Structure 1
């Protein structure tokens, strides 16, 4: 797979750009609705993708090897789905042919985030939805 093909797997949902918390004692993962400072909450795109590692040093560059070892990718993530041997869902832009279907299916973070600098304690912003499939994302009849 070329780099361009690999990059095209990203559906543009923005879920991986939400801060996650991990309990040091239990290793349990908690998703928050706090967006990385580079995430545009409306477009669900990185504001500086090319230079993100410089601006946000802990930003993770996904590779096939890393995807296999990461436990925090959302269940809807194409990288995760393919690593698990599953097909891309109907709303994925490579399947639907339209970038907007990720938003229409309720998969993206559009309108559901709080800015990192406005959040205060991230623990106050723990949410479950980034770790779940939205009901509309499961309905294949909505494809088209």
Structure 2
């Protein structure tokens, strides 16, 4: 399409498309990469893996560094030193991690899908992830140091692995 008055193209074009639609995960700048995180906190919930089957179960228990209200890491720069099993998301990791939430922007971009309207990069507001019911705000039962291994088994939930449309309010 062309603007009839100026003879210039108008409408969507590659130059006006957001970076997540035009770049691969590997091609993103560090700032672009970090901005993909919507701040939901779902990936910071503890997961239990069945040693026999490899099946992963999500819990409503947060990592020791998860701020369950703000839905962010309380020591992001030093998280891997403080929590040795903290998974650092990289393009390679995103391509191999099976438990990323279905709402995760890294997973969506990996799979060639667009970001949803509630994502802060689309809405322009950090609060939209909470308003849409995507974040863990109000759903974290506590942090990992508050529970024994047996108690973690009682905290298994399915909502972190589902989209809000498919969540059971009782879960």
TM-score higher than 0.5 here? yes
Q: Which structure 1 residue ranges, 4+ long, deviate > 4 Å from structure 2?
A: none
| RMSD after superposition | 1.4
Q: Following TM superposition, by how much is the alpha carbon of 1:65 offset from its aligned partner in structure 2, in angstroms?
A: 1.0
Q: How does 1:1-144 map to 2 (within 5 A)?
A: 1-113=28-140, 114-120=142-148, 121-135=151-165
Q: Which has the larger radius of gyration?
A: 2
Q: Which runs of 5+ in 2 are unaligned?
A: 1-27, 167-171
Tell me which protein shows more helix as a share of its residues: 1
| TM-score of the superposed pair, with normalisation by structure 2 | 0.77
Question: How many residue pairs align between the two structures?
Answer: 137
Indicate conservation of the 8 Å contact 1:14/1:45, yes or no: yes
Is the 1:36–1:116 contact (alpha carbons within 8 Å) kept by the matching residues of 2? yes
Whole-angstrom distance in 2 between the partners of 1:16 and 1:49: 13
Q: Which runs of 5+ in 1 are unaligned?
A: 137-144
The TM-score with structure 1 as length reference comes to 0.92
Higher relative contact order (CA closer than 8 Å, sequence separation 6+) = 1
